[in-house]
Copies of this chain bind each other. A is one copy, B any other.
Amino acid sequence: MQLLHTPADMQQWALAQRSRGIRLGCVPTMGCLHDGHLALVREAQTRADQVVVTIFVNPTQFGPHEDFHRYPRPLADDLARCRKAGVSAVFLPQPAQMYAADHSIYVVEEQLGNGLCGAARPGHFRGVCTVVAKLFNLTLPHVAIFGQKDYQQAAIIRRMVRDLDFPIEVVVAPIVREPDGLALSSRNRYLSTDERQRARGLSQALRLVRDAGETDAAAVCQRVQTLLTETYQLRVDYVAAVDGQTLQPVPSLQPGVAIILAAFAGTTRLIDNTLLGHPTDSAQGIPAP
């Protein structure tokens, strides 16, 4: 497994592989790899000859009061997992190598990123789009895999690839969940035992939506909000029923609608979602409470 530390080395490696006719897959991550990331790697391996994992905790997508500095960075574990998974190359740059002191170019999205997580985290998706554009140009993949857990992010990346004409296929892979339904996330390790119990509320709320058969979006969102707040004692950031493509709010639930939510367990912000009518959506497999 190749370790590539600098942007120049990464790009040179990718160009060399491509010139030999090798099909490249890329899985961009912030490290602290869990089975959700490894499922993305496996998905990439079915679609490419060689897979690059990028590990970069990108400062520009964190707000000033967010967890950039304490974000976990278990590098030795991450590399062992990549090696075991058969990853071909890992790109692990430092922030100063990725951003010149006078960096002045940004990639911005002006529709899909305005609401939901974008409303709570100003500048977040600008940071995401900019770093993913850079990672695409450095890893030069034929196919890139993103997780459905970050639903809004995946929609924005798809949009970026379409609108900037990157020659890249974007694949969004299903959420991987704990046995009790909690979506895997690197931030789950912040949770206390009590918070971990209550964090089940996010996936339970999505199960409720899928089971209830209610189609009025406002009523469903209200029920979810009440469940999260009262039963699971979570502080809700948002609960929304949106068109799965445009991310615009919809009045009624039907196939193609995404239910997306964000809530805090203590100080830890968690997200989850389900895409209604989607055959491989993992929310179908959430166990009863």
Q: Which A residues have a C-beta under 8 Å from some C-beta of B?
A: 7, 11, 15, 18-19, 21, 100, 102-112, 129-130, 133-134, 137-138, 140, 159-160, 162-167, 246
Contacts and interface: CB of A to CB of B under 8 A. Distances in A.
B111 A108 contact: no
Nearest to A12: B167
Contacts of A112: 104
A105 B108 contact: yes
B246 A163 contact: no
Given A21-B19, A167-B140, A111 B104 contact: yes
A159 B99 CA distance: 12
Contact of A102 (B134, B138, B246): B246
B19 A105 contact: no
Report copies per complex: 2
Contact of A105 (B103, B104, B105, B107): B107
Contacts of A21: 19
A200 B111 CA distance: 46
A100 B246 CA distance: 13
A36 to B, nearest CB: 26
A163 B105 contact: yes
Pairs A-B, 5 closest by C-beta atoms: A105-B163, A104-B111, A137-B165, A134-B165, A104-B110
A103 B165 contact: no
A123 to B, nearest CB: 13
Nearest to A19: B21
Chain A interface mostly helix, strand, loop or mixed? mixed
B167 A104 contact: no
A253 to B, nearest CB: 23
Nearest to A10: B165
A154 to B, nearest CB: 14
A183 B273 CA distance: 57
A90 to B, nearest CB: 17
Contacts of A167: 11, 15, 137, 140
A138 B163 contact: no
A242 to B, nearest CB: 15
A107 B104 contact: no
A130 B19 CA distance: 27
A106 B107 CA distance: 6
A103 to B, nearest CB: 5
B100 A163 contact: yes
B100 A162 contact: yes
Contacts of A15: 167
A56 to B, nearest CB: 13
A110 B104 CA distance: 5
Contacts of A133: 164
5 contacts: A11-B165, A19-B21, A106-B108, A107-B164, A137-B167
